[in-house]
Amino acid sequence: MMSTVHDTNREPEIQQALHGLRARLSGSLIEPDDPLYDEARRVWNGMIDLRPRAVVRAGAIADIDAVLDAVRRSGLAVAVRGGGHNIAGHGSVEGGLVLDLGPLKHVHVDAGSRLVTVEPGATLADVDHATAAYNLAVPLGVISGTGVAGLALGGGVGWLTRSNGLTLDNLESVDVVTATGEHLRASMQENPDLFWGLRGGGGNFGVASSFTFRARPLPPQPLGGNLFYRPEHWRNALLAFAGWTRDLPDGMNPIASFLVFPEEFGMGSDPWMIIGFAWVAEDQQAGLALVDQLRAAAPPDQEEIGPTSWLDWQSAMDSVFPKGSRGYWKNVSFSRLDGESVDVLLGFASELAWEGTGIDIHHMEGAFGRVPEDATAFPNRSARYWLNVYGFWRDPSEDERLTAFARKAYGLMQPFAEHGEYVNFLGAEAGPRDADAARAAYGPEKFRRLAALKDRYDPHNLFRLNHNIPPTQAFM
């Protein structure tokens, strides 16, 4: 088993491998003495402060082969980075080699077939800008700077989850470079077992070099909105939200949130509960009628509702999550949103008196819930809701207090928790040799199936800087 930090006795082999790598690259090799190094090594989460041996900024897909060859020759650990937005910081590595695919951002849209081909460094903004011109959208996340690759391989929860499923549910195929350098296409027709594992199993099986999605039709101006509630109205609003979501049509995609807004939003320094929604069916009057039902049950203190640009909607919260924010996240899947669970949830939500932590309740079901449980590696299709407690603070002195809050909220929700956790919402506590978090996230049956794929495609655990599914022989 290779270590994460390289063995200094192998320095001659490392130097030789890096020399050969530099000669092969279309992109650039950035080492610690390079003035670009500090910027190149950074990922979104400012709590992740690692110093790689080198960072490769890819200039072409062929650079993936060159990097993996250098990794095999040198014994260096490799971290694969798309957008670098992963909360656990898996896009960097201490003393190893970072393969930064961020420069590879091309998106091609075939409007007739609605097939969208995406390079591995593209962000949500890159895809949204390409598809919106055709009134199409690939179901993605909620922050436009997020990398599509990591989002899709882990799941992809966002503003189209109920209407169109997860990002991975809209994948047609993935091109992958394996640990041995083999180039494979994974789809329902080709390597379907690998395709199953890639849809939820993260970066455990290789480097994804291209994605093909099927986009969904989108109204030119979807209906979006937010209902805002002050703390004294939270309980009634959350219970009304619970009732409202019992029988929603697929076109309505709601998320309930609790947070103190940054100053630039002009919402003051007090915490708010927000019920946000995106209605993506053509009949906007039908969407407004649904909102009227919720408004009648829980009159908001403020509101903003109306047709919106999809690009504006998808980037509306970007400023809350600037690069360099410090973050730690926990998540829980659950289905009970009744008096007891609401009291528990509001018990910790009412403690939010600071900017830098938020709580989201994603309403699932709809198209997401109709995908059979065993169709993909995503851990849970039956939960009605998914809770995410997320941090975005700047002051390092707050690390202990705010990570403790997230853990506390997670613990208090455990009596209501269902099986599985969403790996894209998992923080950094699971190390590369700790399979416990991955086993808990996927559950025993899916974990065993994923481990069998790991044995086949990456038996030496080259791709271990992720929520790792170790091969069965890795620690024997």
pLDDT tens track for 57-99 = 999 999 999 999 999 999 999 999 999 999 999 999 999 999 9
Dihedral pair phi/psi, residue 150, rounded to 5°: -65, -40
CATH classification at residue 23: 3.30.43.10
| Mean pLDDT on 280-294 | 97
In single-letter form, the type of residue at position 252 comes to M
Q: Is 200 helix (H, G, I), strand (E, B) or coil?
A: coil
The H-or-E segment that residue 293 falls in is helix 284-297
Helix (H) or strand (E) holding 214: strand 207-214
**192: Cβ contacts below 8 Å, ≥ 6 apart:** 186
What is the pLDDT, as a whole number, of residue 87?
Answer: 94
- What's the average model confidence in pLDDT over 284-295? 98
Mean pLDDT, rounded, for 368-396: 97
Which backbone phi and psi does 226 adopt, to 5 degrees? Answer: -140, 130
Q: What would the pLDDT profile of 3-48 be if each residue is shown by its tens digit?
A: 455 556 788 899 999 999 999 999 999 999 999 999 999 999 999 9
Is there a domain that residue 135 lies in?
Answer: yes
Residue 461 in any domain: the answer is no
User: Do 200 and 260 belong to one domain?
Assistant: no
Same domain? For 152 and 300 the reply is no
Rounded to an integer, the average pLDDT of 294-310 is: 97
Q: Which domain holds residue 117?
A: 107-218
234 shares a domain with 181: no
Residue 135, pLDDT > 70, answer yes
Nearest to 146 by CA among 280, 323, 382, 350: 323
Tell me, yes or no, whether 213 lies in a domain: yes
126 belongs to a structural domain: yes
Tokens of 351: 């403690």
Output the pLDDT for position 434.
58
Q: Quote the DSSP letter at residue 431.
A: -
pLDDT of residue 433: 45
pLDDT band at 118 (very low <50, low <70, confident <90, very high): very high
Residues 301, 185 share a domain: no
SS3 56: strand
C-alpha torsion angle, residues 94, 43, 116, 167 (rounded to 10) = 90
pLDDT given at position 2:
41
d(CA 20, CA 40) in angstroms, rounded, equals 21
φ/ψ of residue 183, rounded to 5: -100, 120
Closest CA to 17 of 57, 59, 61, 54: 54
Q: pLDDT tens, 393-421?
A: 999 999 999 999 999 999 999 999 999 99
Chain mean pLDDT for the chain: 95
177, 259: one domain: no
Strand pairing of 223-229 and 302-307?
Answer: antiparallel
Choosing from 82, 100, 118, the residue where a domain stops is: 100
417 and 334 Cβ atoms separated by less than 8 Å: yes
> CA dist 66 to 6, 32, 71, 461, Å?
19, 20, 9, 18
pLDDT in tens, 225-280: 999 999 999 999 999 999 999 999 999 999 999 999 999 999 999 999 999 999 99
Q: With 70 as the cut, is the pLDDT of residue 1 above it? A: no
**pLDDT given for residue 421 in this prediction:** 96
Q: Where is the domain boundary, 152, 186, 218?
A: 218
Out of 43, 71, 100, a domain closes at 100
What's the pLDDT score for residue 3?
A: 43
On the 0-12 / 13-18 / 19+ scale of CB atoms within 10 A, 19 is exposed
- 321 assigned to some structural domain: no
Q: How confident is the model at residue 476 (pLDDT cuts 50, 70, 90)?
A: very low
Helix (H) or strand (E) holding 334: strand 330-334
Q: Is 57 left (phi over 0), alpha (psi -120 to 50) or beta?
A: beta
pLDDT computed for residue 6 by the predictor: 52
Both 124 and 247 in one domain: the answer is no
Same domain for 289 and 163? no
Environment class of 10 (CB within 10 Å of its CB; exposed 0-12, middle 13-18, buried 19+):
middle
